[in-house]
Amino acid sequence: MTADAIVLGAGIIGVSTALQLARRGKSVVLVDRKEPGMETSYGNAGLIQREGVVPYGFPQQFGLILRYALNNRIDAHYHWRAIPSVTSFLAKYWWHSNLTRHQLIARAYAPLIEHSISTHNELIEEAGAEALIAKDGWTEVFRSNAKQDAEFREAERLAGEYGVSFKRLTPADLAAQEPHLSNDFVGGLKWEDPWSVRDPLALTRAYIALFEKLGGRVLKGDAKSLSQTRTGWQVVAGDGIVEAKDVVVALGPWSDTVTKPLGYNFLVGVKRGYHMHYGTTGNAKLNGWTMDAERGYFLAPMNQGIRLTTGAEFARRDAPKTPVQLERAEAVARTIFPLSERLDKEPWMGARPCTPDMMPVLGKAPRHDGLWFAFGHAHHGLTLGPVTGQVIAEAITGQKTLIDISAYGPERFNA
């Protein structure tokens, strides 16, 4: 089987890239070992974070780092055995999170985020997936005035520098917006620009259906079978071999299974995360996506139930599940909202692919023709899927890219 391009990885990044190539008239084969959207892209808070221009940094305050070291929090957890293998990543992550460097990174990162809503909107409309989308932002709720005041100051800065919109919420505003939320909170901050996705897997599948309608093919295969040919690349997939001039590596936290054998050594860590769905008691209803800011967990009213998501777990990518953060978060969440029974047989776990400078790896491989990279989106894979796919598709087809993607290039790793 031949095609113009092969995309390896059927998460939201790979699916979006394959779709954007197909929209530009290319014949595309999308290859994954599982069904599309079943790995990291399945388990997220369902946000298209237009406000997320500042990527999540490593704490800089010594006292806060010491509190994290106690390893008893909801927003972060780590495996002691993993520390030696992740030390290099964490050290560089901490270095890049210095205030000055972090602000420079945010300015480079912002153009991607700025196009997150518009590029999703194009695909959502073409895929007929409007019913999956809520366009009402999301809310942080605060337990202390100190935290609230700090977040308001940061929101004002982001509004001034990047044009994001927010609204301050009093306790009365919160009560009107979420009448079944407890009165533990002194107020809230509503980010007004983001969109929410009621079922991230369903959205991925809607994009897949549009991709196939445009002639794209989805095959099961092993990305590790990728090899270079005289005219391009080939991979074992379906019942045989697929050949193409171009190949895109969009394998998220598993990208190293392809990049390392080709001689590229990217420093990519993982932040694992967990979720669980719950019913509600009585007539309780959660109207919008809500984050308990000081505790570090999220409640999202999904089609599958109320999805509770945790923060970051630093562990080896393939280590067994240790959902201690979920247990901690559930205990707290039950005190602020009337959750009832668990709806899933077991906690879901996924691994977010993270670079130490908090920006994805996008662009052409430095030493191989026809090899392209699109991974490392950390917490913003769902947010950045369509815009990533668009700029990669534009680069492959020789078009001017929507934005300058040089800041995200693989060359910055000296890999």
Per-residue pLDDT 10s for the chain (415 aa) are 999 999 999 999 999 999 999 999 999 999 999 999 999 999 989 999 999 999 999 888 888 788 888 888 889 999 989 888 889 999 999 999 999 999 999 999 999 999 999 999 999 999 999 999 999 999 999 999 999 999 999 999 999 999 999 999 999 999 999 999 999 999 999 999 999 999 999 999 999 999 999 999 999 999 999 999 999 999 999 989 999 999 999 999 999 999 999 999 999 999 999 999 999 999 999 999 999 999 999 999 999 999 999 999 999 999 999 999 999 999 999 999 999 999 999 999 999 999 999 999 999 999 999 999 999 999 999 999 999 999 999 999 999 999 999 999 999 987 5
**Which token pair is 78?**
């780590």
Report the helix count and the strand count for the chain, using DSSP H and E: 11, 22
- Scan for tokens 């957890």, then name that residue: 77
Could you give the CA distance from residue 266 to residue 269 in angstroms, rounded to a whole number? 9
Could you give the CA distance from residue 127 to residue 19 in angstroms, rounded to a whole number? 11
The residues with which 361 forms a beta bridge, in sequence order, are 375
What phi and psi, each to the nearest 5 degrees, are found at residue 171?
-55, -35
The answer for 253, left when phi > 0, alpha when psi is -120 to 50, beta otherwise, is alpha
HSE-up (13 A, CA, CB side) for residue 192: 10
Radius of gyration of the chain from its Cα atoms, rounded to whole angstroms: 21
**Which token pair is 373?**
């990279």
Pairing of strands 297-302, 290-292: antiparallel
Could you give the CA distance from residue 167 to residue 200 in angstroms, rounded to a whole number? 26
